[in-house]
Copies of this chain bind each other. A is one copy, B any other.
Amino acid sequence: MSIAASGHRNHWMSDLDDIDRKLLALLQENGRTSYAELGKAVGLAVSSVNDRVRKLQDRGVIEGVYAALSAEALRLDLLAIIFVGWTDPATEAPFLARVADEPSILECHHVTGAWNYLLKVRTHTTRDLEAFLAAIVKGVPGVQRTETLIVLSSAKETFHLPLELPAWRNPRA
């Protein structure tokens, strides 16, 4: 019995079976895994793996394949979490425009709670962070408050999305 026969497809949009999930797991770990190797892992021919991966890309499940660079090697030694707040709603649009073309901002999330946005920022030094804060806070009129947390160390920082059902998942969900 093949792996495919052991599983069954869901009926939701992404419609992934066990083989798809296995392929995604392998490609998340190494985006350059050859189709031959993938095929060996899931028990499919090279051309079949090609079909599947192409469809996963077409369906948008695989957004892209990217080289991950080392922040340490690039001497981006400072990682900071910055909360940003304002009261005037007109502040948001220019703020987001500023965020979009600022490469040092890796993430920008609209969050619940006392603050408006949360930024994840990488710089080389505290001096750079200081200059960055001045550029953002002073550069975007309306930004009133910021609070900066410095990351002392990162125990985990992965791009891998969870593919299997978590063990703690509520059984009635």
Question: In whole angstroms, how far apart are the Cα atoms of A103 and B60 in the complex?
Answer: 21
In the assembled complex, A42 has its CB within 8 A of some CB on chain B? no
Are A75 and B156 in touch, CB under 8 angstroms? no
Are B108 and A66 in touch, CB under 8 angstroms? no
Task: State whether A29 and B66 are in contact (beta carbons under 8 Å apart), knowing that A127-B173, A154-B108, A170-B127 are contacts in the complex.
Answer: yes
The A64-92 residues at the B interface (CB cut-off 8 A) are: 64-76, 79, 81
Question: In whole angstroms, how far apart are the Cα atoms of A62 and B69 in the complex?
Answer: 5
What band does the interface of chain A fall in when counting residues whose beta carbon is under 8 Å from B? 35 or more
Question: In whole angstroms, how far apart are the Cα atoms of A159 and B81 in the complex?
Answer: 15
CB neighbours of A27 from chain B (8 A): 66-67
Closest B residue to A114 by beta carbon equals: B149
Question: In whole angstroms, how far apart are the Cα atoms of A60 and B132 in the complex?
Answer: 27
Question: In whole angstroms, how far apart are the Cα atoms of A59 and B99 in the complex?
Answer: 31
In the assembled complex, A24 has its CB within 8 A of some CB on chain B? yes
Closest B residue to A152 by beta carbon equals: B110
The A1-56 residues at the B interface (CB cut-off 8 A) are: 12-14, 16, 24, 27-32
